[in-house]
Chains A and B, each alone.
Chain A
């Protein structure tokens, strides 16, 4: 087990190095990045000074090592628009994004499992067909369009849910104001429903299909037949024997899913004016604030790598066979 953990951590380290290399290359692909930091009317001398100050005149490998060093000191350069450290700007918005992603995860996983199981148990019937048809649609809807439609029909048409804005829960919680966080919870839930559903639908659909096929495979196994033959109730067979084994592929998906959802937040936060990292990135794109985009991408990737590592380790714990590979 320790061997496996060590190897996975080493792999994650290599991946993180790769991520930093790609972001570094991306910054330099657009030409000399100095020009991002100086005004259009800057003189040659000013440009040269800025270039020397930011270290863009040094050889690439040296710049890359500097960039890595900065990353270790949690310094990813200054945002061009905010004039403050880009990482601080990103971290400030992080709780809102995490709230949204977690809400979306809860919806995606919480509904995918019962729907997938229901479809598998009713295989070949109208229930199965219906659930799978909806899942097929869910996988084909662009999330940002779904968000717009929800705003139009649920928010503006039925007027039952707020169309934009955010009530913080995680923020106060991290600052130690537990009372405020709890008091905010009901309102926060109302605000999070539409954006969370928007992000969740794609994953929900894919996972429902995954749970179904995973469940069908498990249901045809000998141990399920044995459990039935023992005279166990159908419910016990499904929950204790089948579902427990059908879980495994789903656990792996959850880690990957988080990454998909993080990508989804960029558009969905923009539509719902959710004050998270996604909308920050959107605005940074429009202002060509490349250091800020870079900081956000690096943070998301680190989070993604960390989550996948955790999922893999969890998986190894759940399924001893994995460790042997």
Chain B
């Protein structure tokens, strides 16, 4: 994939073995690079924890995130109750819901939205970019003009406009955020395809009689995956930020579903009274998750394309 030659002595005449050998080599190099860089490891640990919360939320959350308790409202973090036991480790909100449990459940929406929106935007963008770059001409012009038009909108405004009209909800949120991302992928895929289109291996596939879709998606795509992966990592970060902002504006999922952005929105009512914990924890959760994806993206870029490291 990155053009690493198979190590000497490997049976390079059997392609599958060669591929496996390089793949193992890449994994080993990745691991070594990770250990050297240190920060990406922390990022992976954080993301693993967040993903675990997203998947296993109901089993690890100490309490029901939606159970209200008026007598127990606005408890400070780590404050023991009358029996001297700490129940709400991170305190409770304005209607007595447990902050820690809501935080754990909130990971779900962020992770689900982050990944699915990037998957949708990525698939759409890469397909359109491949088509535009491979065929060129009129179809390419149309795709790129549409991309220009979309870039002319500040993205959040576009999202706000559509969500106001369509109404909030998880599905709409994912679609709007997903469609918001396609341009980046389309542009990168397109420029990569243009540089690969005339290479020998593509010529060879053509000569062997491979169909056009099979050349585009089977032959070229695997060779341009590296830059797309880097973009995807940064992209998940920015989608999570956008999701939080939209949830904050009340355009995300229904208020019964806990989200980090929604928790921040609710914390505003308690801000002047100085209930810091309501605003601090969800924000830290968003920041750590986004930061981890950014760090991982940085490392991936350096690892997959060492040329870029030379300058930045």
Contacts and interface: CB of A to CB of B under 8 A. Distances in A.
Q: In the complex, which range does the number of interface residues on chain B fall in?
A: 35 or more
B65 to A, nearest CB: 20
Contact of B249 (A14, A209, A267): A267
Given A136-B295, A149-B283, A300 B248 contact: no
Nearest to B159: A263
Contacts of A301: 152-154, 157
Interface in A97-139: 136-137, 139
B149 A145 contact: no
Interface stretch (A225-233, A234-242, A279-287): A279-287
A200 to B, nearest CB: 16
B167 interface: yes
A15 B149 contact: yes
A301 B160 CA distance: 13
B41 interface: no
Contact of B146 (A18, A23, A148, A209): A18
Interface residues of A, number: 55
A213 interface: yes
Nearest to A136: B294
Contact of B264 (A11, A29, A145, A288): A145
Interface in B144-164: 145-146, 148-149, 152-158, 160-162, 164
B283 to A, nearest CB: 4
Given A156-B272, A217-B311, A300-B154, A140 B237 contact: yes
Contact of B154 (A23, A259, A267): A259
Given A144-B245, A282-B249, A286-B250, A263 B283 contact: no
B71 interface: no
B152 A18 contact: yes
Interface string B128-147: 00000000000000000110
A114 B49 CA distance: 37
Interface stretch (B15-23, B27-35, B81-89, B285-293): B285-293
A212 B312 contact: yes
B249 A136 contact: no
B95 interface: no
A266 B312 contact: no
Nearest to B286: A142
For the residues of B in contact with A, the DSSP-based class is: helix
Given A145-B279, A216-B312, A305 B160 contact: no
B175 to A, nearest CB: 12
B161 A297 contact: yes
A262 B148 contact: no
Contacts of A54: none
B152 A142 contact: no
A290 B157 contact: no
A27 interface: yes
Which residue among B156, B276, B282 has the maximum number of chain A CB atoms within 10 Å of its CB?
A: B156
B267 interface: yes
Contacts of B156: 263-264, 266
B152 A300 contact: no
Interface string A175-199: 0000000000000000000000000
A152 B271 contact: yes
B244 interface: yes
Given A262-B154, A282-B249, A139 B161 contact: no
Contact of A148 (B148, B161, B271): B271
Contacts of B298: 136
In the A-B complex, the 8 residue pairs with the smallest Cβ-Cβ separation, listed nearest first, are A213-B312, A18-B149, A145-B283, A263-B156, A140-B291, A30-B165, A263-B154, A140-B290
Given A141-B287, A263-B157, 13 more contacts: A139-B294, A142-B245, A142-B264, A148-B264, A149-B279, A156-B272, A212-B312, A213-B312, A216-B311, A264-B156, A266-B156, A290-B165, A301-B157
Interface of B: 145-146, 148-149, 152-158, 160-162, 164-167, 237, 241, 244-245, 248-251, 261, 264, 267-268, 271-272, 274, 276, 279-280, 282-283, 286-287, 290-291, 294-295, 298, 311-312
11 contacts: A22-B158, A139-B294, A140-B241, A140-B294, A142-B290, A148-B271, A149-B280, A263-B157, A285-B164, A290-B165, A293-B161
